[in-house]
């Protein structure tokens, strides 16, 4: 009886240790994901170049997951420049892009917009609209 009690305590102790280890592994948050800044800049460049070349956002999947409402609305990207003022919030790189869009009538619109780019666990590129 004594040995059985010791065995159960030992197993219960092992189970508790295992649960603590598993719980510690689940503590990864978005803030703890690594950012590869050169890869983020390259991904933004690839994203915008694909748009300028007439590709669809879906053509970038699964390597890059992205969204830009102007691209999805069918506007054409005529020119772009990724400006040097960038900042990291930890897991994301915020980039300012100066771009020229053309609508279906060929009218050009110049603007500066923000893109948020992440590199982990997947590469993501999203236009950030401040509202």
pLDDT of residue 13: 41
Query: Could you say which of 3.10.450.50, 3.40.605.10, 3.40.50.2300, 3.40.50.300 is the CATH number of the domain covering 30-128?
Result: 3.10.450.50
Res. 107: pLDDT tops 70:
yes
Q: What is the pLDDT of residues 70-85, one digit of tens each?
A: 999 999 999 999 999 9
- Tell me the DSSP string of 45-107: HHHHHHHHTT--GGGGTTTEEEE-HHHHTT-EEEEEEEEEEEEE-SSEEEEEEEEEEE-TT--
Res. 41: pLDDT tops 80:
yes
The rounded percent of the chain whose pLDDT value lies above 90 is: 69
Q: Where are the domains of the chain?
A: 30-128
Q: How confident is the model at residue 33 (pLDDT cuts 50, 70, 90)?
A: confident
Res. 55: pLDDT tops 60:
yes
pTM strictly above 0.85 = no
């Amino acid at each position: 009886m004594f040995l059985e009690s010791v065995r159960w305590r030992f197993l219960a102790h092992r189970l508790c240790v295992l649960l603590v280890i598993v719980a510690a592994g689940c503590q990864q948050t978005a803030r703890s994901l690594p950012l590869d800044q050169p890869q983020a800049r390259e991904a933004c460049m690839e994203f915008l170049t694909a748009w300028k070349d007439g590709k669809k956002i879906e053509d970038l999947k699964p390597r890059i997951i992205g969204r830009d409402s102007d691209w999805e609305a069918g506007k054409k990207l005529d020119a772009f420049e990724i400006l040097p003022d960038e900042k990291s919030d930890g897991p994301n790189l915020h980039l300012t892009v100066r771009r020229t869009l053309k609508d279906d009538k060929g009218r050009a619109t110049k603007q500066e917009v923000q893109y948020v780019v992440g590199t982990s666990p997947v590469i993501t590129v999203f236009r950030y609209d401040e509202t």
